[in-house]
Amino acid sequence: MSDIKKVVLAYSGGLDTSVILKWLQDTYQCEVVTFTADIGQGEELEPARRKAEQLGIRQIYIDDLREEFVRDFVFPMFRANTIYEGEYLLGTSIARPLIAKRQIEIARETGADAVSHGATGKGNDQVRFELGYYALEPNIKVIAPWREWDLTSREKLLAYAESHGIPVEMKHKTGGSPYSMDANLLHISYEGKVLEDPSREPEDDMWRWTVAPEKAPDQAQYLELTFDRGDAVALDGKPLSPAQMLAELNRIGGLHGIGRLDLVENRFVGMKSRGCYETPGGTLLLKAHRAIESLTLDREVAHLKDDLMPRYAAMIYNGYWWSPERRALQALIDHTQQTVNGWVRLKLYKGTVMVVGRDSREDSLFDPTIATFEDDGGAYHQADAAGFIRLNALRLRIAARLNRSR
């Protein structure tokens, strides 16, 4: 007899988590509470409620977390210009700490003694979820069915569903998408099947949010993003909430074929994995944010941020959002953003995005009287550079003399 009485399941209503729901009931003889997070995946969530009700679930949570997701997770990450291994904008990684946080809150509200997720034992998400659980509730019990059961294939999942009377949509019976997909307001990811051969180009009809760059409009489009303390707050002069901003940038960027990525990445668990991603809005945000920082950040502060960013990105990718080191680094990053105010103009054309203007009237460190190629009226004394160069060359000159004497 299990000592687990109630478990909160991160539940999408799809095949995997529907099987997990029934498996938890049968294996642990416990009550299951379902939690479905709306983080902008663009799917109708009421079917998940109806399916949970069909399976006898009494406590069903469906929460709209879109604004919290962008405001408290995506935007703080973008203040650091965060990318993993030079390319990945961490769309899946940044969603997991929010889901873990809300699961723990629900466990407390309902008196549950365990939480459960549908991540497999091969991937990063199991780590991200569970590091979040333990950081927020150190004594919580965690059930990861993919590490316990013998349902190791889609065929076995379908057979289990059929034998236990679990409703299965036709798309699952007929195969559905050939990819494993994850979507939220920041991105959509594709893994599995044909993508498991890194030498093969993905089919063009795989992409959901972006047109092929060669099929994008023949006319460029200009956007103007306004920033306040490092966050985008207005688009073409119109104030938008964080979720509205990202959704609109996704729409516009997608129209111009911006934000596609085909990547072989290094998972935290040790293996390499090939994934494809669409992050149109995030691509525009990153470009614009770096542009406004170029005007408003001191050189050494900007370089320090660039030095620290890969470590910050690894923390998020590996699941350490709730760690003390990430919180400490976030405090530093947020402190640097106090002067990151102004606007940036972007030019979008056939899969490319170019910064074509930027201004920060109150906080710009760009001084045209010093930077000019024309007469600067004595603002900068060029002769001073000779001593600067000689001092910086001193160690090089000493080494050169030593080398000549050998």
Q: What structural domains and CATH numbers belong to the chain? A: 6-70+90-176 (3.40.50.620), 183-297+340-359 (3.90.1260.10), 376-404 (no CATH)
> Which DSSP category does 388 fall into?
H
CA distance 85 to 294: 22
pLDDT value of residue 211: 98
pLDDT higher than 70, residue 157: yes
pLDDT value of residue 58: 96
Q: Where are the beta strands (DSSP E) in 167-220?
A: 180-183, 188-191
| CB-based burial, 155-185: b 16+ in 10 Å, e otherwise | eebbebbeeeebebeeebeeeeeebeebbbb
When mean pLDDT is compared across 75-79, 166-170, 246-250, the lowest value belongs to: 166-170
CA distance 160 to 157: 5
Q: 152 vs 294, which has greater pLDDT?
A: 294
Residue 225 phi, psi (nearest 5): -105, 130
pLDDT higher than 70, residue 171: no
Residue from 344, 342, 343, 347 nearest 222 by CA:
347
pLDDT higher than 50, residue 80: yes
pTM of the model: 0.94
What tokens appear for 106 in the block? 């629900």
Residues 30/143, Cβ–Cβ less than 8 Å: no
pLDDT value of residue 245: 98
Rg (CA), the chain: 25
Q: Tokens 């460190």 identify what position?
A: 365
User: Of how many residues is the chain composed?
Assistant: 406
Each residue's pLDDT tens digit, 189-216: 999 889 999 999 999 999 999 999 999 9
> Which segments of 272-348 does DSSP mark as H helices, in order?
280-296, 299-318, 324-336
Strand partners, 44: none
Residue from 116, 139, 119, 146 nearest 7 by CA:
116
Residue from 115, 287, 271, 123 nearest 189 by CA:
123
pLDDT higher than 70, residue 176: no
pLDDT value of residue 404: 83
> HEC states along 66-134?
HHHHHHHHHHHHHHCCCCECCCECCCCHHHHHHHHHHHHHHHHHHCCCEEECCCCCCCCHHHHHHHHHH
Residue 279: which pLDDT band, with cuts at 50, 70 and 90?
very high
User: Quick count: other Cβ atoms within 10 Å of Cβ 150?
Assistant: 7
pLDDT value of residue 1: 47
Residues 353/284, Cβ–Cβ less than 8 Å: yes
> Which DSSP category does 381 fall into?
-
- β-pairing, 114-116 vs 6-10, is parallel
What tokens appear for 255 in the block? 């129209």
CA distance 160 to 164: 6
> Which DSSP category does 249 fall into?
H
Residue from 70, 47, 91, 356 nearest 241 by CA:
70
Residue 170: which pLDDT band, with cuts at 50, 70 and 90?
low
Diameter of the chain by CA atoms? 87
Residue from 274, 101, 117 nearest 189 by CA:
274
Each residue's pLDDT tens digit, 20-63: 999 999 999 999 999 999 999 988 899 899 999 999 999 999 99
Q: Which helix (H) or strand (E) holds 303?
A: helix 299-318
Residues 148/120, Cβ–Cβ less than 8 Å: no
- % of the chain surpassing 70 pLDDT: 98
Each residue's pLDDT tens digit, 351-384: 999 999 999 989 999 998 888 888 888 888 999 9
> Which DSSP category does 250 fall into?
H
Q: Rounded mean pLDDT of 111-116?
A: 98
- Mapping DSSP to helix (H, G, I), strand (E, B) and coil, where does residue 33 land? strand
Burial of 6 (0-12, 13-18, 19+ CB in 10 A): middle
What tokens appear for 298 in the block? 């001191």
Residues 134/322, Cβ–Cβ less than 8 Å: no
CA distance 394 to 389: 9
Each residue's pLDDT tens digit, 286-327: 999 999 999 999 999 999 999 999 999 999 999 999 999 999
Instruction: List, by residue number, the catalytic residues.
Output: 16, 96, 125, 180
